[in-house]
Amino acid sequence: MDFNNAYHLITDKLLSWARDIIKLLPNIALAIIILILGVLIARWLKKLIKKLIGRFVQNQTLEHLFASISYIILVGITIFIALSVLKLDKAVTSILAGAGILGLTIAFAFQDIAANFMSGILISIRKPLHVNDTVKIQDYMGEVEEINLRDVVIRTYQGQMVIIPNKQIFQNPIENFTLLGKRRVDLEVGISYGEDLERVKAITLESVKDIDGLSRTDEVTMFYTTFGDSSINYVIRLWVSNTQQPDFLEVRSQAIIRIKKAYDKNNIMIPFPIRTLDFGIKGGVPLNEVTQKPA
* Residue spans of alpha helices (H) in the chain: 2-56, 60-85, 89-109, 111-126, 166-171, 197-208, 245-265
- Please tell me whether residues 160 and 195 are part of one structural domain: no
231: domain CATH number is 3.30.70.100
* Contact call for residues 136 and 179 (beta carbons, < 8 A): no
Tell whether 9 and 82 lie within a shared domain. Answer: yes
Distance of CA 123 to the CA centre of its chain: 6
> Any idea what DSSP says for residue 287?
G
- For residues 76 and 153, state if they share a domain: no
Q: Are residues 142 and 208 in the same domain?
A: no
End of a domain among 51, 81, 109?
109
**What does the pLDDT read at residue 1?**
47
Would residue 275 count as lying in a domain? no
- Answer yes or no: do 48 and 135 share one domain: no
Same domain, 97 and 152: no
CATH code where residue 143 lies: 2.30.30.60
Distances (CA, A) of 227 to 86, 127, 195, 231, 287: 87, 43, 13, 6, 27
Report yes or no on 295 lying in a domain. no
The string of pLDDT tens digits covering residues 100-159 is: 666 666 656 556 677 777 888 788 778 888 888 999 988 899 999 988 878 899 999 888
Q: Flag whether 191 is in a domain.
A: yes
**How far does CA 151 lie from the centroid of its chain?**
9
pTM value > 0.75: no
Q: How far apart are CA 292 and CA 275, in angstroms?
A: 24
Give 65-68's long-range contacts (Cβ < 8 A, gap of 24+): 65/121, 65/149
Q: Does residue 181 come out as left (phi exceeding 0), alpha (psi in the -120 to 50 range) or beta?
A: left
The amino acid at residue 227 is F
Q: Which of the listed residues 109, 134, 151 is the one where a domain comes to its end?
A: 109
The total of structural domains in the chain comes to 3
- Please check whether residues 131 and 68 belong to one and the same domain: no
Residue type, 145: E
Counting as low any pLDDT under 50, the low residues of the chain are: 1, 295
Please name every residue paired with 236 in a beta bridge, in sequence order, or none if there are none.
187, 222
Based on the fold, state whether residues 88 and 143 are members of the same structural domain: no
* CA 145 centroid distance within chain: 12
Task: Print the domain residue range for 254.
Answer: 183-265
Q: Is residue 289 part of a domain?
A: no
Do 172 and 187 belong together in one domain? no
How many Å apart are CA 293 and CA 227, to the nearest integer?
39
Residue 213, domain member (yes or no)? yes
C-beta of residue 121 within 8 angstroms of C-beta of residue 113: no
Same domain membership, residue 103 and residue 18: yes
Is residue 100 located within the same domain as residue 7?
Answer: yes
Verify that 171 and 187 share a domain, yes or no. Answer: no
The CATH number assigned to the domain holding 49 equals 1.10.287
- In this prediction, residue 267 carries a pLDDT of 92
